[in-house]
Amino acid sequence: MTITTKSKSRYSIGSMVFHWLIAILVIWNWRLAANAEHAETGAQASALFADHKAIGITILVLTLGRIVWRLTHPMPALPGNYATWERVLARTTHAIFYILLILLPLGAWIANSMSGRSIDMFGLFTIPPLPVSANRELGHSIFEIHATCAMFMIYLVGLHILGALKHTFFDKDGGIFRMLPFGRVRRSA
């Protein structure tokens, strides 16, 4: 197969920016939550969770922007060397990512709102609670689901990274370079 760097073999620059910003924020947010869980004081945990919530809302906004971008900019076809199971796994993984990137922050915002708490966006402005009924018990249950789904997302990130590395270094189709503005990408079928 021919190796090419034509734009139809890789994602658009806008898609790349959304992808890498969201990826960095997801991993950073995961670490913030883990650090908050192990904080020495309640004040430290609260400060870390405040940043975690603000980053979560940022991820939600960026994800909605990414969806709009994706709907208005064509996505490159998967390389022709992908087996059927790899195509199904790639599409399924991406769909689950989008679902989680919306539901995780939205669910947390709802749960937060059930306790009447607003979200401080890094001291710049405050997002008020959603107009939902007060229900701390249900809010706590939603946070538990949030934590479980967040761990699932981290495992999914690991699977995604392994897939990109497999395609780049074993299949040598330039998999990771489809989402980078440099490198050689094998032409899609």
pLDDT digits (tens, 9 = 90+) for 105-115: 999 999 999 99
Closest by Cα among 143, 109, 151, 147 to 126 = 109
Q: Domain coordinates of the chain in residue numbers?
A: 3-186
Identify whether the C-beta of residue 107 lies closer than 8 Å to the C-beta of residue 146.
yes
7 pLDDT above the threshold of 70: no
pLDDT digits (tens, 9 = 90+) for 29-68: 999 999 999 999 999 999 999 999 999 999 999 999 999 9
Instruction: Map residue 185 onto helix, strand or coil.
Output: strand
Identify the CA nearest to 34 among candidates 50, 46, 48, 51.
48
β-bridge mates for residue 3, sequence order: 186
Average pLDDT value for residue range 87-91: 93
The residue type at 19: H
Domain 3-186 has CATH 1.20.950: yes
Q: Can you give the pLDDT at residue 186?
A: 72
* Selected residue with higher pLDDT from 105 and 75: 105
Please report the pLDDT score of residue 72 as a whole number: 95
Instruction: Give one DSSP letter per residue of 2-66, joined into a string.
Output: -EE--GGGS--HHHHHHHHHHHHHHHHHHHHHHHHHT-SSHHHHHHHHHHHHHHHHHHHHHHHHH
Helix axes 13-37, 136-165, angle to 10 degrees: 130
| Rounded Cα gap, residues 98 and 95, in angstroms | 5
